[in-house]
């Protein structure tokens, strides 16, 4: 698949603050990628560098094989940034009209309104709109030039549940046509539900990069639970493929680096083991494991 954009070795410091450190992400056309991390992880700074709004101290940004600014000017890359300024006395229709006039082949205005869900209030002044409605107007402005790559910084902030749902439905429609999306979020569920790939960042560095399933597997593997009569914790923890073991409510609970190996070892050593269950760890736990505890070592190696 051909490349949509690449960020290679990006570093950005603000005085003593290391906002982004040697960050590398390569994204192919058609991918929907979530940039996931807690507040202050460096997501907005990364996006600003991708858009050419901030110059990196080190590293390189390539968008469709060229310069970020060229991609923006040609309408190939568009963005929805946090708190983008909207004039109170203008209407969404006027703003969309202005935006469309900047591009050679914009989307028809009615289609922009429809896709962004702003038809009902397109002629109301921005000063009268709610926070969620203003977010949709920002989305409409990003869609106006009919871009191939959409970059969204916390797009659903301030949207209510219905607003979020319809926003993601629209995003799905956008990406289904083979277009590329990068969105920053700290909502785990959004990354899990809407991205093909998740890039977890902490302290400006990529700490994991892969599909939701890969991130889960890399971070915490699986948990095997079973009734194992007569076994103690030490014996269980010594089984191949098992990282740690505990007894919880009369059941053994084994955290596994390799659950296939662990189940074979369990049944060989304890043939009477019963009520066996293996579950994957949710992205939320993986996210907390990676970004939550400052004193926890990072897992070895990123997935890509
Ligand atoms: N212009 C700036 N001057 C000084 N420090 C900055 C500046 N911009 C960002 N930072 C700092 O860089 C770090 C990364 O910030 P950034 O906004 O990129 O994180 P983020 O992951 O987008 O967080 P949030 O979700 O809160 O927006 C933070 O410590 C932030 O305080």
Residue 126 lies in a domain: no
Asked if residue 297 is part of any domain, the answer here is: no
Closest CA to 256 of 226, 296, 288, 231: 226
Distance (Å) from CA 63 to ligand 1 centroid: 23
Residue 112 is assigned to a structural domain of this protein:
no
Q: Given its phi and psi angles, is residue 83 left (phi above 0), alpha (psi -120 to 50 degrees) or beta?
A: left
pLDDT band at 301 (very low <50, low <70, confident <90, very high): very low
Tokens of 27: 């994204």
- Domain membership of residue 12 as a residue range: 3-76+147-216
CATH of the domain at 170: 3.40.50.300
How high is the pLDDT of residue 150?
96
Instruction: Identify whether residues 54 and 161 lie together within a single domain.
Output: yes
Among 83-87, 162-166, 228-232, 261-265, the least confident range: 83-87
Please check whether residues 152 and 57 belong to one and the same domain. Answer: yes
Q: Are residues 260 and 156 in the same domain?
A: no
Do 159 and 204 lie in one domain? The reply is yes
* Cα 40 to ligand 1 centroid, rounded to whole Å: 5
- Could you tell me whether strands 77-80 and 149-153 are parallel, antiparallel, or unpaired per DSSP bridges? parallel
Token digits for 290?
């990676």
Residue 134 has pLDDT above 80, yes or no: yes
CATH assignment of the domain containing 258: 3.30.70
Domain count, the chain: 2
* Mean pLDDT of the residues in the chain: 87
On whether both 161 and 71 belong to a single domain, the answer is yes
**In a domain? residue 130:** no
C-alpha of 84 from chain center: 20
Nearest atom in ligand 1 to the alpha carbon of residue 46 is 18
Contacts of 138 (CB under 8 A, 6+ apart): 80, 81, 84, 86
81 found inside a domain:
no
Single pTM value for the model? 0.76
Are residues 7 and 67 located together in one domain of the fold? yes
- Distance of CA 128 from the midpoint of ligand 1 (Å): 30
Domain boundary pick from 173, 201, 216: 216
Pairing of strands 32-36, 180-185: parallel
Distance CA 63, CA 68 (A): 5
My answer on whether 205 and 248 are in the same domain is: no
The reply to whether 210 and 231 lie within a common domain is: no
CB 126 within 8 A of CB 86: yes
* 72 and 151 share one domain: yes
**Residue of 39, 45, 53, 84 best suited for mutating to test ligand 1, as the one with most atoms within 8 Å of CB:** 45
Residue 54 Cβ < 6 Å to ligand 1: no
């Amino acid at each position: 698949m051909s490349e949509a954009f690449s960020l290679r070795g990006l570093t950005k410091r603000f005085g003593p603050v290391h906002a982004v450190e040697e960050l590398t992400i390569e994204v192919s056309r058609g991918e929907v990628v979530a940039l996931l991390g807690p507040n202050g992880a460096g997501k907005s700074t990364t996006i600003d560098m991708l858009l050419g709004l901030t110059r990196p101290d080190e590293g390189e940004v390539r968008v469709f094989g060229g310069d970020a600014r060229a991609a923006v000017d040609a309408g190939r890359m568009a963005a929805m940034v946090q708190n983008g300024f909207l004039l109170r006395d203008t209407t969404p229709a006027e703003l969309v009209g202005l935006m469309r006039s900047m591009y050679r082949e914009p989307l028809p205005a009615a289609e922009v309104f429809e896709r962004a869900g702003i038809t009902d209030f397109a002629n109301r002044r921005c000063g009268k709109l709610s926070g969620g409605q203003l977010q949709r107007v920002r989305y409409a402005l990003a869609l106006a030039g009919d871009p191939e790559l959409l970059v969204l910084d916390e797009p659903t902030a301030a949207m209510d549940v219905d607003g979020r749902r319809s926003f993601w439905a629209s995003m799905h429609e956008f990406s289904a046509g083979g277009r590329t999306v990068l969105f920053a979020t700290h909502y785990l569920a959004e990354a899990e539900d809407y991205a093909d790939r998740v890039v977890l960042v902490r302290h400006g560095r990529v700490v994991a990069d892969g599909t939701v399933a890969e991130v889960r597997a890399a971070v915490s593997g699986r948990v095997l639970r079973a009734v194992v009569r007569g076994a103690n914790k030490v014996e269980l923890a010594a089984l191949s493929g098992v990282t740690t073991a505990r007894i919880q409510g009369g059941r053994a609970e084994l955290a596994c680096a390799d659950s296939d190996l662990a189940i074979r070892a369990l049944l060989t050593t304890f043939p009477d083991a019963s009520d066996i269950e293996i579950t994957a760890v949710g992205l939320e736990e993986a996210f907390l494991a990676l970004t939550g505890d400052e004193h926890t070592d990072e897992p070895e190696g990123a997935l890509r």
